[in-house]
Amino acid sequence: MADSSFDIVSKVDHQEAENALNQARKEVEQRYDFKGTGASIEWSGESVLIKAGTEERAKAVLDVFQSKLIKRGISLKSLESGDPFASGKEFRIVSTLKDGISSENAKKIGKIIRDEGPKGVKSQIQGDELRVQSKSRDDLQAVIALLEGSDLDIDLQFINYR
């Protein structure tokens, strides 16, 4: 019998992120407490640019965006936000959505699987994802439970389970 396997990835559904940003933009335009503050949220290349008149308003717009991401099923672990910085008369926050597993995180996940996972489970790094293989499907499910329970700073999805 061939080995069973699955892939560990960290991907963001960009259509859902676009929808969350559009919902946040509409809410910021319509909410009374944002009127006249110059608050806005928009795409700036691959990142999200938040502008507002004060630092607190910029953080409030970021909070609105985060709540829309959560409602759309996107983990906040995949959102990386900087601190508010002054740019002329306004404050800005630049946020990016992390896609893929970095090499140091992939090594960290591989080490968790080797150290704490069942014996006979192999993992290998393939670009920005990990392939996990074992003869036993029960061992693979134990690895998934182990990784879901571990406190990693990235959002993981488990795909191609066969």
Residue-wise pLDDT tens digits, 107-139: 999 999 999 988 889 989 988 889 999 998 899
Domain around 136: 4-11+101-159
pTM (two decimals): 0.84
* Residues 51 and 21 occupy one common structural domain: yes
Phi, psi (deg, nearest 5) at residue 56: -65, -40
By the 8 A CB rule, do 75 and 16 touch?
Answer: no
Into how many domains does the chain fold? 2
* Residues 70 and 111 occupy one common structural domain: no
Residue 26 belongs to domain with CATH number: 3.30.70.990
Across the 162 residues of the chain, what is the mean pLDDT of every consecutive 10-residue run? Answer: 83 92 94 88 90 92 95 92 90 91 90 89 89 90 90 86 84
* Residues 19 and 90 occupy one common structural domain: yes
Q: Alpha helix (H) ranges present in the chain?
A: 14-30, 55-71, 103-116, 137-149
Report the percent of the chain where pLDDT is more than 90: 54
* Residues 88 and 121 occupy one common structural domain: no
